[in-house]
Structure formats: structure tokens, C-alpha cells
Amino acid sequence: MVLFRTNILKCNECPIRHRAVCANCNDIELNLLENIKTYKSYSAGERILWRGEELIFVASVVNGVVSLSKTLEDGRKQMVGLLLPSDFIGRPGRKEIEFDVTATTDVTLCCFKRKPFEKLVKETPAIAQRLMELALDELDAARDWMLLLGRKTALEKIATFMEMFMRRSNSQNPLKSHQNIHLPLRREEVADYLGLTLETVSRQLNYLKKMEIIDFVDRRNFQVLNISALQNATGDDSDGGVIN
């Protein structure tokens, strides 16, 4: 059930203030956003939007994790994206949503009515610029995702996925050994997202633990013991040089 929150934060108090679509806004522009926003909360597993549904609002993820997926005619489903705090849902200028949007965990969204928001985008360069930056970041992430699905081994996929959560979970010092990281997805969901089987995900996680790269507190919380080893396991050529 969708809950409309009455204790709406002021934009200046919002935890995603300096990362979200409002990041470049001044006080006057923030007040314009205040007038068209509302908070909506969804429980884990609840559908936020169905593919093809009219896009009445666009939104920033305030907390929680949102998945984007598409289902084929025969019932096969592919998760095509994960949205974390500060990520944006919806596209100004489009009247329908292109994916099924689901709350993977309990989620709070800062929602803006689509038509007034589209008007603000046209009239407010700071919002338009930040929206473009978010779109370009998403494009880069999609290209990385093509590489992950098309070329990486199972171990490289798992390591890349865990490193991504490290980067997004701690914006102050994201890549540091002996950090505790919360993994918001069940292993079945990780398998779906990475195009692997549940057994393969469990096997690769156990391998990383055996190699003392990670250690699990429980099935959802882990500690990275050796960040350099985890980065090496991603298979990425981090220095951009030629691999002999």
C-alpha cells in the first residue's frame, strides 16, 4: 500500500540534497520544487509503476532500492537496472513509463507532478543541467552493464556488483577495506540482476569469502576485507593501459 508522508522534509534538510535532481538549485528554485513535491513510501516488493502506465509523476529515490525490469510475452523477466538514493525515475516529455518499477526494499520517493516539473525543466537551467548529468551517468552505467553481461565471468560479475554497492553506499570514502556494507537484495534477486543462477551466485560469494576478500555478517550484510583484491576480481583494467 502506498503511503503519503505528511512529515515532508524541507529540501535543504534532505539526505540526497546535493546528489539529486535539485543539486544545482538555489533557494528560489528549491522553493519552486517544494510547491510541487510530495513524499510517497512503498513496501518491499510493491509495484510503483507498471510498464506502459501513464506517467503522472517523476521522482527521486530518497531511500531504499528500486528495480527496473521488463517481462517478455512468455513470462521471462529481466531486471535491467537498479536505482539507489538520488537516482531519478521517469523522463520529462514522456507520457508513459518504459519499465516495470518495483520497490526492492522499503522505499521513499520524492515525487514531482510531471507536467509542472516539465515546465520547471524548461524554465530552470539548474534543473535541466542536473537532469542531463543524471541521464549521462545512467548512460555510462548502461554501457558498463553491457560489458558486465556480455563479457564478464560469473566471479567478475559478482565482484563488480559488490564494488558498485560500495561506491554508492558511502559517498565520503567509498573504496576502503574493512567497511561494513548492507546488500539490500536477496541472492535470488542478485542472480536475476546479473543473469546468473542462484547456485552460481552462492558459489562465487563463498569463493570470495574463502579467499578472505569478503566476510559475511549475515546473508544481507558483508565486510570487504581486501578492497584491492575485490577490484582485481572485477576484471576491469583500472589504469587504462594495454594488458599483455
125-143 residue pLDDT tens: 999 999 999 999 888 888 8
Listed in sequence order, the residues at least 6 apart from 122 whose beta carbon sits closer than 8 Å to its beta carbon are 128
Long-range contacts of 234-238 (CB under 8 A, 24+ apart): 234/152, 234/156, 234/159, 234/160, 234/163, 235/152, 235/153, 235/156, 235/159, 235/160, 236/160
Q: Is 90 exceeded by the pLDDT of residue 229?
A: yes
166-175 residue pLDDT tens: 877 655 555 6
DSSP 197: -
pLDDT at 78: 79
Q: What are residue 53's phi and psi, to 5 degrees?
A: -70, 150
Listed in sequence order, the residues at least 6 apart from 11 whose beta carbon sits closer than 8 Å to its beta carbon are 17, 22, 25, 30, 33, 34
pLDDT band, very low/low/confident/very high, at 243 (cuts 50, 70, 90)? very low
Cα-based angle 237, 168, 60 (whole degrees, multiple of 5): 130
Bridge-based pairing state of the strands 66-71 and 77-83: antiparallel
pLDDT at 140: 87
Sketch out the chain's domains with CATH numbers.
3-148 (2.60.120.10), 152-233 (1.10.10.10)
Q: Is 80 exceeded by the pLDDT of residue 57?
A: yes
Sheet bearing 179-182, strands edge to edge? 179-182, 221-224, 214-216
Listed in sequence order, the residues at least 6 apart from 34 whose beta carbon sits closer than 8 Å to its beta carbon are 10, 11
196-210 residue pLDDT tens: 999 999 999 999 999
- Containing 71, the helix (H) or strand (E) segment is strand 66-71
Angle between helices 154-169 and 187-194 (to 10 degrees): 110
Distance CA 178, CA 181 (A): 9
pLDDT band, very low/low/confident/very high, at 89 (cuts 50, 70, 90)? very high
Mean pLDDT of the chain: 86
Partners of 3 in beta bridges: 41
